[in-house]
Structure 1
Amino acid sequence: MIPPRPTRILVDLLFYTGTRGGMESVVRNLYGALTPAMLQGVQFAALASRELAAAGAPWFPGRVIDSGIASSGRIGWALGEQVVGLRAARLGADVVHCPANFGPALSPVPVVLTVHDLISFRFPEYVPGRLAGVQRALLRAGARSARRVLTVSAATATDLEEQLGLPPEKVLVVPPAGSGRRATGVTRRGTLLFSLGNRMPHKNFTGLLEALARIAPARRPRLLITGGGPDDPLTAEVARLGLEDWVELAGWLPSEQVDRLYAEATLLVFPTLFEGFGLPVLEAMSAGCPVLCTDLPVLHEVGGEAAAYVDSRDPQALADAIVRLLDDPAERDRLAVAGTARAAEFSWERTAEQTLSALVAAARG
């Protein structure tokens, strides 16, 4: 008897450059969590950006194909998305997974699209230049064309239904998880605040710096921020506020170093004004790091009762919340313990299983 042919899944990794933060972390952990049992009856290949193909992807459970597209520029990425379906058909794929917000407007092969946030719809003022309009057009076309849309939170699922008019039955919430890794041999030396993210305005690092400046110098903690490039726009703001002795802008760091910083930090401060999920909250919790984050519904969805919340739009309120937690080690210990338990409620294996199930179902029609 001839065994059934495996379901061929092409994963669209054109977006992956190594510097796109949370979405890349989600994809690495998701595909790295596929177990041998899950891989029975399926066959994976990835259509990769030139950057990823050169760097390699040992976490991916299949062949990595160099698309020849350099995706460090968003235009190359956006244009490349439109030919993913055609490339998938030529490769004999049964379904395509586009895991980073954008997918082809037309595809001869079924597409499952993962949407992480709708910032270009909800807060277009946070997206530079004309990019918001381009993102809206691409996201709308890709989501409507896709056979199934996965998303990371109930808040973003609601946005998809309200902003794009997607029927609820087309949208499936598949939350990510924390890294599950704890750096070993790490001891906390002194007081250190940690924050991370890209430099788009909604991340609100200028608000965090303003809050730090409002803390008296004798009590002011050190702050380390990762995620900026070599020409970090926060450098001028640090100088303007006279915070050079307290703030380190560390640029992009590999995940192992980020894990170490979670373990070293006294407190993760996550002052964002908008998120589709808020992965750093969960990553910090899984590392036993107490979390102070913005009082947003989606971050309550992630952190529950295991995080401290503040109106980060108010620098004084943020400064007061930081000082209050630094002065209360018992509360920080409570948050660390509660956060570890909260993070354990999320599982990359479950994320991988739900994603794979959606892909196979889409392939079968």
Structure 2
Amino acid sequence: MTRCGFGEATHMYSMLGECGPLFAAGKQRGLTVVTEIYIPLSTERILAEERRNFPDWEPDTPDFAAIRRERGSENAVLTLTDFAICPSEAARDDLVQNFGFPRERTAIVPYGVNPELLSVRNEPVRGRVLFAGTAELRKGIHYFAMAAEKLAARGLHYEFRVAGNVQRSVASQKHCRCLTFLGRVPRVEVAREFAAADLFVLPSLAETGPEVNYEALACGVPVVTTPEARAIVRDGIDGRIVPSRDPEALADAITEMIEDRQGRKRMSHAARERARDFTWERYGERLVGALKSFAARQTQP
């Protein structure tokens, strides 16, 4: 494409450094580069700390140096970037506070959810707690497991289900003995898991806008999550936001929401109504609006 030219294009949309040489060439030719921050730039630092604290959970670590060689360093990517699309406040805060990117050159565009999930009928199995996604440190699987242990010690024998890929090094941890690992689950089966879930929990440490939180809300399942992963979840309305790395607070929130059936019912209704404003169509509208606002800023004196 670089050899063929960019035609009449004025802008390029980058997924956080992918096709770096192409975007560098476009930048040299005067195109405006918009980068979507689909994962926090601080993820490597966060995971390095977590792996030091839990060294036997993920012995095979990603080769971040190789990834950086392929996509470019964070600073190289941001040097090319004129404007940044962030799926959440957490993503923007990380970009601005930890990497010095100008806040005025960012826009928050929350993701969207498949509208078909809005018709999923949630008939919760009382005490069934669902975690969906890869069972890894980044998503807080170890804190989910510790919270389950704490609740079992309190005599609260809820059911903790994990739908997603899992390494043996994780599944074999003693902390995980209260978890049921389902393995990788087809999308249609995930919808069935949401339909029977009493609660969805995602205690992630590094996220921008996890799709599973949107999906849970769309299915009418209240969400317990962290500030890093909250995206569109509202504390006390359609879910609970608890501090990351705090299994005690996580266990307390799970108990509160399961035992308060009227409160859980209210949150379930609020969750589905919240998701109606975050469909794929609304995502497209917000994204186009953000791109137009960027273009308008460029024309201002």
Aligned partner of 1:226 in structure 2 is 163
Q: Indicate the percent of aligned positions where both proteins have the same amino acid.
A: 24
Cα displacement string for residues 299-342 of structure 1 (whole angstroms, at most 9, x for unaligned residues)? 27542532123335232332233223222211111111121222
Give distance in 1, aligned partners of 2:105 and 2:19: 16
| Distance apart, 1:358 and its partner CA | 5.5
**8 Å contact from structure 1 (residues 102, 139) kept in 2:** no
Q: Which amino acid aligns with 1:98?
A: S
Q: Which amino acid aligns with 1:114?
A: E
How has the CA–CA distance of structure 1 residues 130 and 334 changed in structure 2, closer, same or farther, with 3 Å as cutoff? same
Q: Which amino acid aligns with 2:73?
A: L
Kindly report which structure 2 residues correspond to 1:113-132, keeping only aligned pairs within 5 A, or say none: 113-116=35-38, 117-120=40-43, 123=46, 125=48, 126=50, 128=61, 131=64
Deviates more, 1:256-265 or 1:204-213: 256-265
| Distance apart, 1:193 and its partner CA | 0.8
**8 Å contact from structure 2 (residues 109, 290) kept in 1:** no
Kindly report which structure 2 residues correspond to 1:257-272, keeping only aligned pairs within 5 A, or say none: 257-272=189-204
Aligned partner of 1:159 in structure 2 is 94
Aligned partner of 1:141 in structure 2 is 76
Count of residue pairs brought into register by the alignment: 273
Give distance in 2, aligned partners of 1:311 and 1:260: 29
Kindly report which structure 2 residues correspond to 1:1-365, keeping only aligned pairs within 5 A, or say none: 86=2, 89=4, 92=7, 94=9, 95-99=11-15, 102-104=18-20, 106-108=24-26, 110=31, 111-116=33-38, 117-120=40-43, 123=46, 125=48, 126=50, 128=61, 131=64, 134-135=67-68, 137-180=72-115, 181-182=117-118, 184=120, 187-189=123-125, 191-216=127-152, 219-229=156-166, 231-237=167-173, 240-241=174-175, 243=177, 246-294=178-226, 296=227, 299=230, 302-304=233-235, 305-356=237-288
Greater relative contact order (Cα 8 A, min sep 6): structure 1 or 2?
2
**8 Å contact from structure 1 (residues 278, 302) kept in 2:** no
Q: Which amino acid aligns with 2:143?
A: G
* TM-score when normalising by structure 2: 0.75
Give distance in 2, aligned partners of 1:242 and 1:166: 39
Root-mean-square deviation over aligned CA pairs: 3.4
Give distance in 2, aligned partners of 1:185 and 1:124: 37
How has the CA–CA distance of structure 1 residues 241 and 160 changed in structure 2, closer, same or farther, with 3 Å as cutoff? closer
Q: What secondary structure sits across from 2:138 in the alignment?
A: helix
* TM-score when normalising by structure 1: 0.63
Q: Which amino acid aligns with 2:26?
A: P
**8 Å contact from structure 2 (residues 148, 179) kept in 1:** no
Cα displacement string for residues 36-89 of structure 1 (whole angstroms, at most 9, x for unaligned residues)? xxxxxxxxxxxxxxxxxxxxxxxxxxxxxxxxxxxxxxxxxxxxxxxxx637x5
| Distance apart, 1:281 and its partner CA | 2.4
| Distance apart, 1:115 and its partner CA | 0.5
**8 Å contact from structure 2 (residues 239, 267) kept in 1:** yes
| Distance apart, 1:195 and its partner CA | 0.6
Q: Which amino acid aligns with 1:153?
A: S
| Distance apart, 1:288 and its partner CA | 0.3
Question: Which runs of no fewer than 5 residues in structure 2 stay unpaired?
Answer: 52-60
How has the CA–CA distance of structure 1 residues 186 and 324 changed in structure 2, closer, same or farther, with 3 Å as cutoff? closer
Give distance in 1, aligned partners of 2:7 and 2:246: 53
Aligned partner of 2:55 in structure 1 is none
Question: Which runs of no fewer than 5 residues in structure 1 stay unpaired?
Answer: 1-84
Give distance in 2, aligned partners of 1:112 and 1:263: 37
Q: What secondary structure sits across from 2:208 in the alignment?
A: coil
**8 Å contact from structure 2 (residues 198, 221) kept in 1:** yes
| Distance apart, 1:190 and its partner CA | 5.1
Give distance in 1, aligned partners of 2:17 and 2:206: 16
Q: What secondary structure sits across from 1:288 in the alignment?
A: coil
Give distance in 2, aligned partners of 1:146 and 1:152: 16
